[in-house]
Amino acid sequence: MLNIPTLWMVFVINYLALGLIWAYVARSYPKFHAARFWAGSSFVGAAGAAVATLHFHFTLMLLPLWAGGTILIFAACLATLGIKRFYGQPVRWRGSALITGSSAAAVAFFIYGYDSTAMRIFVYSLGEMLPFALSLKLLLWSRDGRNSPGARLAGIVTIVIIALYGFRAVGYVAHLGGDFTTANPNPLQSLLMLALMFLSMAWNFGLLLMAIDRLRNEVADLALLDDLTGVGNRRHLLQRLSEECARSERNNEPFALLAIDLDGFKGINDTHGHATGDACLQHFTLMAQTRLRPGDLLARSGGDEFCVVLPASSSREGAMIARRILAVCRADAEQCVGVDVPIAASIGVAQWTREMGAVPDRLIAAADQALYEAKKNGRNCYAIHGAPSPPLAPDYEALLEQALRKTA
């Protein structure tokens, strides 16, 4: 049989080590707020285990066990709050205070009011189980459907921890394996403590994998965004075009691409400076995004050039979106006064065809050809690739505009 006081000291060291790891993560990534809760949970757990060890120096006193158990329950609540923070849910302390306070009060009653070791074990086990149970749904069934392998690992370990605490609570009442108290340790008690120690490490390892996966996803997302405007960059554009080309080839459903170039942008940089040019790029992206639909992708392909990917859209619908973008730019230009710089754009519209296949460059080239036609036609307008499309009937144009407004 292992020495129980020694196991409690190992618990203290284990919690301190985990706390140092999470404190380092929290310091290295200040915006990763969940790490602060997990660091706090580990340090509080170390304090609770240290207080509980005082019971072995004052064997006639149950106060250290009561205080240490209460602190350990609060540590479990802190870990659950960290999981909520990780998944972007509001952190409310009321539930943690209720679990910790009610557990402490109930254990105190079964110490000083009605002495019952069985009920003390049951209440303490329930107090440890509840926070873990509350976090189980988030770990195994995230709302965004992007649970990482670390979340699944932490969820599985959570189930095992809940099962062990449940077995301990029920086992003492049913006298399975003898007395489960620290005052009368036995081999099964030692085995349970070793299992909980191992599971706490595995649980925190799962949380660490969750953190690594989240940080990796954030880096991957940043790699697809343009630093200046915050819209997609060329890499994101090509990735999305490849996906749409493959989808259209499978379903034989067209989609459209807009190639946009800001008119006279070099003159803006030469006359007003690059800072003003950057501000114009940012302002244009804001205006253009107000005229796009959910699912449309605006990307900066380079310099003053942009592209808009329009899924499940024909060249006619692409032309309508182009007109909407030109209209908002013209309306904004009319309101410019003083040192304000008006923004104008030329737009080329192209529709994917089966002849283009799954090669995004062919669609980009078609949109660029239409853009050059718009430039030839006097700029501040749009052109459609290929044979000129017949003009839209007024009733069709009105219906299409109404549909676009509903989806915007």
Q: Which residues are catalytic?
A: 304
**How far apart, in whole angstroms, are the C-alpha atoms of residue 156 and residue 32?**
24
- What number of other Cβ atoms are within 10 A of residue 71's Cβ? 20
CB 150 within 8 A of CB 212: yes
State the residue for tokens 């149970």.
133
7-43 b/e with 16+ CB inside 10 Å = b? bbebbbebbbebbebbbebbeeeeebebbbbbbbbbb
Burial-class residue 237 by CB neighbours within 10 Å (0-12, 13-18, 19+): buried
Residue 132: phi, psi to the nearest 5? -65, -40
- What number of other Cβ atoms are within 10 A of residue 111's Cβ? 17
CB within 8 Å of 32: residues ≥ 6 apart = 25, 26, 211, 214, 215
Alpha helices for 294-393 (secondary structure H): 315-334, 360-376
